[in-house]
Amino acid sequence: MRVALFVTCVNDALYPATGIATVRLLERLGVEVDFPPAQTCCGQAQYNTGYRHETEPLVRRMGTVFEGYDHVVTPSGSCAAMVRENYPRIARRAAAEGRGDGLGAIADSLVPRVHELSEFLVDVLGVTDVGAYFPHTVTYHPSCHGLRTLGLGERPRRLLEAVRGLELRELPGAEECCGFGGTFALKNPDVSAAMGADKADHALATGAEVLCGADSSCLMHLDGILRRRGSPLRPLHLAEILAATEGEPHV
């Protein structure tokens, strides 16, 4: 089984610990992971801001970089959703506009092979207990694209519930958006911050030590709000919790 890690541009540049944790976790589960260094970005920011044409070269790059791998794993629900939901759309539109060559085949090939981390663990590897140890109280925010576009459902929660020492606390209004939304946070700063503030309030009300999510960009936004408040609540990616063990605890 040839497995590639698609780390995503946000994790690569800002949250390498998420990528490192994903590699350690998968290797612990016996998966040999490769990181093709020619990978960059899925193009979500460009596409969602209205620059569809500018996304096409990145679709091609994704196709080339991950050609030949049985599975492509990414610790980002929104990037996985971008591939699964929008690559076929981009290919269709490009074909209709006469620029289709090969994009449809790239999309068709990538869609079934790209998995968000919790999907890969539960659906492909068939594990929910990954042998993790994390003795902290945790509340989980299911990011919108993972929740609605990918339909991750209970997968991340089942993984967390199987972690030894971890106490999971319900997040009120969990399914509501945190207000990040890519360039939305820049274009509508007031509404975005108001949504983030409510999410932070809900997370703080749980009394948990850690706010867990499976999308680094949502966590970045919430981390920015929590740090501005001087709050001790710590946002942490699901991969980092699942990677922690008694021998190698998360620090």
Minimum separation from the CB atom of position 122 to other proteins (A): 22
Helix (H/G/I), strand (E/B), else coil: 68: coil
Nearer to other proteins, 1 or 186 (CB): 186
Q: In one letter, which amino acid is 228?
A: R
222 CB contacts (<8 Å, ≥6 apart)? 141, 178, 180, 196, 199, 200, 203, 211, 213, 235
Considering the complex, state which of residue 106 and residue 163 has its C-beta at the smaller distance from other proteins: 106
The amino acid present at 148, given as its one-letter code, is R
Residue ranges of E strands in 128-240: 137-141, 167-169, 210-213, 234-237
User: Using CB under 8 A, which residues numbered 183 to 222 contact other proteins?
Assistant: 183-197, 220-221
> Does 118 contact other proteins by CB under 8 A?
no
Q: Tell me which of 43, 63, 77, 156 binds other proteins, using CB under 8 A.
A: 43
Concatenating the DSSP letter of every residue in 150-171 gives: S--TTHHHHHHHTSBT-EEEPP
Cβ–Cβ < 8 Å for 10, 19: no
Helix (H) or strand (E) holding 84: none
> From the CB of 222, what's the least distance to other proteins, in Å?
9
Binding mask 138-157 for other proteins (x = CB under 8 A): ------xx--xx--------
Residue 209: other Cβ atoms inside 10 A: 16
| Of the candidate residues 1, 2, 27, 35, the single one contacting other proteins (CB under 8 A) | 35
CB atoms within 10 A of CB 76: 30
Q: Based on CB atoms, which residue is closest to other proteins, 126 or 230?
A: 230
Assess 102 for contact with other proteins (CB under 8 A). Answer: no
State whether the Cα torsion 60-118-86-175 is positive or negative: negative
Does 176 help bind other proteins (rule: CB under 8 A)?
yes
Closest distance to other proteins from the beta carbon of 8 (Å) = 9
Total number of residues that touch other proteins (CB under 8 A): 66
Q: Which of 49, 109, 128, 231 binds other proteins (CB under 8 A)?
A: 49
Which residues would be at the binding site for other proteins (CB under 8 A)?
Answer: 7, 9, 11-17, 19-20, 23, 35, 37-41, 43, 45-52, 54-55, 57-58, 61, 89, 144-145, 148-149, 175-177, 179-197, 220-221, 223-225, 227-228
